[in-house]
Structure 1
């Protein structure tokens, strides 16, 4: 039987990365505010675990985490968490130190590659290098925290 999964990305600022990747992929930022407010009312979490600011339109959000999901996938109505293609960004204390061992490939096609690279750079990505070799032509980029990904 196949397993459900999500990709978890360690980050310095999970909300900044969630915003970048939501725009990059055309995904939806998850709204966990109702779940957070229920847990807070029950005393299961405290105010230090919650942020409420303009980045979240004043809604409660996890201080240590943010998630995005494919807009067409189902959502758990009790938690606001996606039940399909999903990226979860978690705050960690240490900075990124080495090349990723896992990365995303964004498939846009050869005709759209240059425009997509330009769009991603406007969102805060940085181009590292272009690879042209037999069987592959892609641009390796980094997100705002230095996580590598390829645009093919």
Structure 2
């Protein structure tokens, strides 16, 4: 009897977003998506203790150590690696880059707050620091194009 081969394991992924201030972006997107900012302080302390990470590569963020140049937000119900604090599911990682955003995003997030909640959600996001760029009404539907505090476009359906 031949065995059916196991299906290939799906590829784990995260969306990486360049940022001038990754920590401010993490705060915005954690609030916008109702996600959690990852706590990598145990990993950072271990790396510092081993001499594998210089102190200047860290900052204090929300009362704990964080990497200076990157930080992620994760879905609160997804699993977390207990050793590193890294989410093992839906994540956005913000990495510091020296240059400012200069053009249109080639990739963006579409937020779906639920039927009839677009305007309410847009107001909540504006209170967090987003802004409405334009309102779109096409034969296929309606949505808002918004920008986060660093100008990255996203849509609210």
Q: Residue in 2 aligned with 1:106?
A: 111
Of the three residues 141, 144, 148, the one matched with 1:139 is 144
Structure having the higher Rg: 2
* Aligned counterpart for 1:5 among listed residues 9, 13, 24: 13
Does residue 82 of structure 1 match 2:90?
A: no
| Other-structure match for 1:94 | 99
Q: What TM-score do the two structures reach when normalised by structure 2?
A: 0.93
TM-align CA RMSD: 0.8
Q: What 5-or-longer segments of structure 1 have no aligned partner? A: none
Taking the aligned partners of 2:56 and 2:30, their CA distance within structure 1 comes to 25
SS in 2 for 1:60: strand
Quick one: which of 37, 61, 65 aligns to 2:66?
A: 61
**Separation of aligned partners in 2, 1:109 and 1:134:** 20
Mapped to 2, the partners of 1:84 and 1:8 lie a distance apart of 14
Distance 2:40 2:94 in 1: 14
Following superposition, the deviation at residue 110 of structure 1 comes to 4.2
Matches of 1:63 and 1:15, distance apart in 2:
8
Map of 2:27 onto structure 1: 19
Shift of 1:135: 1.3
In 2: Cα distance, 1:143 partner to 1:12 partner: 12
TM-score (ref. length: structure 1)? 0.96
CA deviation digits over 1:80-133, x for unaligned, max 9? 000000000000011100000000000123410000000000000010000011
- C-alpha distance in 1 between matches for 2:141 and 2:18: 28
